[in-house]
A and B are shown apart, each in its own frame.
Chain A
Amino acid sequence: MVNTKVDLCGIQIDNPIIPASGTFGFGYEFAYNYDINMLGTFSFKGTTKDPRFGNPTPRIAETPSGMLNSVGLQNPGVDKVISEELPRLKSCFKKPVMANVSGFSVEDYAYTCEKLDAEEQIGWFEINVSCPNVHGGGLAFGTDPKNVAAVTKAVKKITNKPVIIKLSPNVTDITEIAKTCEAEGADGVSLINTLLGMRINPKTRKPILANTFGGLSGPAVFPVALRMIYQVYNAVNIPIIGMGGVSTAEDVIEMMLAGATAVEVGAANLVDPFACKNIIEDLPKVMEKYKINSLSEIIGGAHNG
């Protein structure tokens, strides 16, 4: 019997599989399809202080082995998340959930996290300092270590729950930002958010996305994500949640060997609503194949020797 349990910032989860924010809503769209309590946890839809409609459509474009999105953090705002979404989430998911929070200023992040902190079911905060799809914020905000430091510090002050900072790959040196998070007390980092990209329709000669640029995800980004996780593992001593193009249990093993304690699955949920279920069911078989008794033993295993 193999052991898939891992410790994520002081909370043990049954397996390291976590649907990524923005690909899993507040869970119930997937709870129609399978019992989502089999997940390690999931990171709910990025929540902001005020309600947001997001960007104009089209918000989605296909790419080779992946997709672009420029949803732009559509969400009902923290008050409605607490009054409407979380009670519904609770009805189908009984484990601690990860609260994904976005903002446009240090005050925004602190405000939203303080409100959510009172919610018992929230086990971790995942702080998105890197959404590339938002005008006037997003990219510029999360690429400046000073901003990341200020947000980390502010959120750590208002909550005792583990704070995980979600990092942008659209920077010169991701390890520098990760080190900043660690220095300010972050309990973990998650990476990578999407890579900024675009597509053009040759017929109209215009960008496909109404927002011109969007975030690239899917198998196309997997090797880039893996490389960054490997680098960050060398740079910090806090747990890493790896993500970027994970679609199979084999991908999960690779990411953990690079240094991930847990693994988020994003775009794969959108093309196969059963992706996470399949990965979790395949994990024990793949572990046996590679003679892995306990997943927690292989974290960072590619760095040995």
Chain B
Amino acid sequence: MMKQGIYEILFNFELAPNVFRMVLKGDTSALLSPGQFVNVKIDGLYLRRPISVCDYDKETITIIYKVVGVGTEKMSKMTAGDKLDLLVGLGNGFNAENDCKNPLVIGGGVGIPPLYGLCKELIKFGKKPTVILGFNTSSEMFYEEVFKLLGLDVYVTTVDGSYGTKGFVTDVMKNLDYDYFYTCGPMPMFKAIESIAKTSGQYSFEERMGCGFGACMGCSCKTKYGNKRICKDGPVLEREEIVW
């Protein structure tokens, strides 16, 4: 269930050009699964900014965000000790509890953060996911080592070949064995994955939102099982229900 609260910034630093990692201290009891998001109120701006949760524990929330506009720009200027008004525990998150034995986790760019929490959850359920992280170029990379510290096999692709496999996440995915997949990233990546995926899976979507908690119908989409709200019934949708 969603909670509103004031959270204190413990850290806020640049991981890669324009990509920031922020750790916030406060009540995390509303977070129930990886892939959920928080909605951040920023002084001087009317609408909150939805940001996926990368990781959380009893008293901290870690978010990783890219500066893409005026809201994230303002966030990037904040420092330790500053306070933020958050709505916490939004969205359904990934379902890590299923029959799969050999899941594949595929992230693209700033879609990668929620997959870190997901991998921790999968490990908790006794699974050892294989991870593919896709970036445009080596200078934009982040979190490869952090995933490796979980003891996982991590493949990195860069579009320009400056690190890891040259090309897209699907260039690695097509050669791997897996019985389920989880992914978060840009739409072109989703479409490429969809065209070669051999199993069921879960996609975490992004959309411009109004409220973030299911009231305004700002982020609706059509699925095979009726209309859904990305913020409330998503952001994670099952492969079988998605209308592309």
In the assembled complex, which residues on chain A have CB atoms less than 8 Å from the CB atom of B47?
A: 60, 62, 67, 270-271
- Chain A residues numbered 65-102 whose CB sits less than 8 Å from any CB in chain B: 65-67, 69, 71, 74
**B6 within 8 Å of A by Cβ?**
no
A33 to B35, CA, bound (A): 21
A66 to B213, CA, bound (A): 18
In contact, A269 and B215 (Cβ under 8 angstroms): yes
In contact, A273 and B227 (Cβ under 8 angstroms): no
**A contact residues, total (Cβ < 8 Å):** 34
In the assembled complex, which residues on chain B have CB atoms less than 8 Å from the CB atom of A67?
A: 46-47, 210
In contact, A273 and B4 (Cβ under 8 angstroms): yes
In contact, B207 and A74 (Cβ under 8 angstroms): no
**A22 within 8 Å of B by Cβ?**
yes
Asked, given contacts A60-B47, A62-B46, whether A273 binds B213 with beta carbons under 8 Å apart, the answer is yes
**A37 within 8 Å of B by Cβ?**
no
- Comparing A23-31, A180-188, A235-243, A285-293, the segment that makes contact with chain B is A23-31
**B209 within 8 Å of A by Cβ?**
yes
A273 to B4, CA, bound (A): 9
In the assembled complex, which residues on chain B have CB atoms less than 8 Å from the CB atom of A24?
A: 215
Interface centre among B4, B207, B218, B227 (most CB of A within 10 A): B218
Contact residues of A with B, CB < 8 Å? 22-25, 29-30, 32-33, 45, 53-54, 57-67, 69, 71, 74, 218-219, 267, 269-274
List 23 interface pairs A-B (beta carbons < 8 Å), by A numbering.
A22-B217, A24-B215, A25-B215, A25-B217, A57-B219, A58-B207, A60-B47, A60-B219, A61-B208, A62-B46, A62-B47, A69-B210, A71-B220, A74-B227, A270-B47, A270-B210, A270-B215, A270-B216, A271-B46, A272-B4, A273-B2, A273-B4, A273-B215
6 tightest Cβ-Cβ pairs between the two chains A and B: A270-B211, A60-B218, A58-B208, A60-B210, A74-B217, A29-B214
